[in-house]
A = this chain, B = another copy of it.
Amino acid sequence: MTDEQPSFDPDHSVGFVETQFATLFESPNELVLESGAKLGPITVAYETYGELSPEKDNAIFVCHALTGDAHVAGWHDAKDRKPGWWEDFVGPGKGLDTNRYFVICANVLAGCKGTTGPMSVDPATGKPYGLHFPFITVGDMVAVHSELVRHLGVDRLLAVVGGSLGGMQVLEWVARFPDQIRAAVCLASAARLSAQGIAFNVVGRRAILSDPMFKNGEYYGEPEGPRYGLALARMVAHITYLSEVSFEDKFGRRLQQGDRLQYNLEKETEFQVGSYLHYQGKRFVERFDANSYLCLTHAMDYFDLAETYGSLEQALGRTNARFLLSSYTSDWLFPTTQSRELVSALLNRRKDVTFVELESSKGHDAFLLEIEPLQRMIEPFLEQTRAGQ
């Protein structure tokens, strides 16, 4: 065994997986976007794990967050440094148990991991769309994924599951396609982004737009894109994913090297926390596209379930799906108050809703990190849902 090989226990991981592609919304059936523009054909990158039951009643769709992708679990090849982004939660015997459920995840519209987005070639010009990619909303993302589910031969999903921007997709799915799902699992999310959340996105986008290498989004093929701007956007966003306590626990005021301050204005990574943020920024630039980042944060800012459907009650009232919601005590980007608003609206409409505020010091990222409480909640919830209807 070499260092390069991933080590996984086949009893506890989906193992090697492959991203697949579907082409949807071909002419003349282009997707009409919320902006009114038409888009098609649309390529969708997706992965599936587990087997669809003969009754087709065990399919679960996972909606990924801002910078996620279709690769939820397992390994693409032996050289992978890391498994999929929710490896601890999706696999044999895990929260989304692939021995029992057929799990689907797809890269969102306007993403940069295989689904049509600003990196894709605009048929009208023969060049990548860049900033000419149409404005995408959470509703548009869900429209594409809903169609993918039909394309895969699944009439009705057992559940749609997602956290953060993924949770927004779950809520939108309920409102848009109320009969397509039997359960909705919405983690660390909200019916709209707070003004403070928009503010952080504004700063991130500004960092990208003011990077001279951004070149109005036409940086593809250039030796260097807006690396500094995109890294900065990630650094500031990353702060919002943690909590004050998790920063103290992880780093406090510890120094990166030695135990004495250097009194050097040019040293930017003297405290461990600075070094960590720089590393996060640098790694992000290797895997993400700046134009996609602009598109997806705009979609997040625009999402406003009550505004779009008249009220939360109207948005969530038409489904018969059951709901499982969770928030995290130290999450200040999507605070518990926002989950409670959703719970109130659901209770007003006499919906079947379970809500848990989970104790955690890990901030918004808790939904990715604190897997055990999530697994304990979701296992009986999915079993009951499957048995119940």
Contact = CB atoms under 8 A, between A and B. Distances in A.
A135 B199 contact: no
Nearest to A202: B274
Interface string A288-299: 000000110010
Given A195-B247, A248-B195, A332-B332, A205 B271 contact: no
A257 to B, nearest CB: 16
A203 B277 contact: yes
A35 B261 CA distance: 9
A278 B206 contact: yes
Given A261-B302, A332-B332, A268 B196 contact: no
Contact of A266 (B37, B131, B252, B265): B131
A236 to B, nearest CB: 5
A131 B267 CA distance: 11
Copies in the complex: 2
A383 interface: no
Contact of A205 (B239, B268, B298): B268
20 contacts: A131-B266, A135-B265, A195-B247, A195-B253, A196-B242, A196-B243, A196-B244, A196-B248, A198-B274, A199-B239, A199-B247, A200-B239, A202-B268, A203-B277, A206-B231, A207-B207, A210-B228, A210-B229, A261-B302, A265-B295
A264 interface: yes
A211 B211 CA distance: 8
A209 interface: yes
Contacts of A209: 268
Interface in A192-241: 192, 194-196, 198-200, 202-203, 205-207, 209-212, 228-229, 231-232, 235-236, 239
B206 A232 contact: yes
A128 B243 CA distance: 40
Contacts of A131: 265-266
A195 B252 CA distance: 5
B265 A199 contact: no
B332 A271 contact: no
A34 interface: yes
A298 B235 contact: no
A278 to B, nearest CB: 7
A301 interface: yes
A81 interface: no
A199 B232 contact: no
Minimum-distance CB pairs A-B, first 5: A35-B263, A195-B247, A135-B263, A210-B228, A202-B274
A195 B266 CA distance: 19
Contacts of A34: 263
A290 to B, nearest CB: 12
Q: How large is the interface on A (under 10, 10 to 19, 20 to 34, 35 or more residues)?
A: 35 or more
B203 A232 contact: yes
A133 interface: yes
A251 interface: yes
A302 to B, nearest CB: 6
Nearest to A134: B263
A307 B133 CA distance: 53
B196 A271 contact: no
Interface in A271-310: 271, 273-274, 277-278, 281, 294-295, 298, 301-302, 304, 307
A162 interface: no
A335 interface: yes
Nearest to A261: B302
Contacts of A243: 196
